[in-house]
């Protein structure tokens, strides 16, 4: 599984298209049992948690593996210094590139019949993740993608009408 995720990331990430190339995002795939350490450490280290959070975390433990997504703040800072005119935009662009990476890897996993759940437990788990896997201090954790073999269909979601969220002009 780890080799597949690594191969998917290596073949997918460089192909992402953006005005500013995705140079600041970093990902760290983990296969079990290491991904349990993130959730076990958080559950056992917390004194107060809402029941919904507990259920979500316990569900996450059932995933087969985990990909952690980071932005490299050192790279973003370097781009801000090199291109001062756009300095305030680089954190936004880094976040957008990271989102594209998350989506591309999700789609690659889904194409192989795997299910995924994107989660955001930062900053709750940041120090645990950093110490457990010796993550560089400049890497900022953005999201965690838990994936594995689906055990059920995804639940129904409700959305605002597409006409309220997506506009096409000049067509």
Tens-digit pLDDT profile for residues 17-69: 555 555 555 655 555 555 556 656 555 554 444 434 544 554 555 566 778 88
Q: Which domain holds residue 73?
A: 2-165
CA distance linking residue 115 with residue 42, whole number of Å? 23
- Specify whether the CB–CB gap between 105 and 27 falls below 8 A: yes
pLDDT digits (tens, 9 = 90+) for 127-138: 888 887 788 899
Residue 47 is predicted with a pLDDT of: 46
Is residue 170 domain-resident? no
Q: Is residue 65 part of a domain?
A: yes
Our count of domains for the chain comes to: 1
Please report, for the domain that includes residue 19, its CATH number: 3.40.109.10
Q: How much is the average pLDDT of 69-87?
A: 91
Binned at pLDDT 50, 70 and 90, residue 80 comes out as very high
Domain presence at residue 106: yes
- Give me the DSSP letters along 118-168: EE--TTTTHHHHHHHHT--TTEEEEEEEEEE--SSPPPP-----HHHH---
Strands (E), 32-138: 65-72, 115-119
Q: For residue 145, what are the CA distances in angstroms to 64, 141, 170?
A: 11, 12, 38
DSSP 75: H
82 in any annotated domain:
yes
Instruction: From residue 169, give the alpha-carbon distance in Å to each of 159, 163, 164.
Output: 22, 12, 14
Nearest alpha-carbon partner for 63 in 103, 29, 101, 13:
29
On whether residue 76 sits in a domain, the answer given is yes
Question: Whole-model pTM above 0.85?
Answer: no
Report the relative pairing of strands 139-148 and 115-119 from DSSP bridges. Answer: antiparallel
């Amino acid at each position: 599984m780890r080799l597949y995720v690594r191969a998917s990331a290596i073949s997918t990430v460089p192909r992402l298209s953006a005005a500013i190339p995705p140079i600041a995002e970093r990902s760290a795939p983990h296969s079990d049992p290491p991904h349990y350490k993130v959730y076990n450490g958080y559950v056992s280290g917390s004194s107060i948690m809402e029941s919904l959070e507990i259920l979500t975390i316990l569900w996450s433990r059932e995933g087969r593996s985990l990909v952690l997504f980071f932005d490299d703040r050192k790279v973003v800072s370097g781009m801000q210094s090199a291109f001062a005119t756009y300095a305030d935009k680089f954190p936004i662009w880094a976040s957008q590139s990271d989102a594209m990476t998350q989506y591309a890897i999700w789609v690659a996993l889904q194409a192989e019949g795997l299910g995924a759940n994107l989660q955001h437990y930062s900053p709750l788990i940041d120090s645990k993740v950093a110490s457990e896997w010796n993550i560089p201090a400049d890497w900022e954790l953005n999201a965690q993608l838990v994936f594995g073999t689906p055990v059920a269909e995804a639940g129904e979601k409700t959305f605002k009408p597409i006409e309220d969220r997506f506009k096409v002009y000049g067509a």
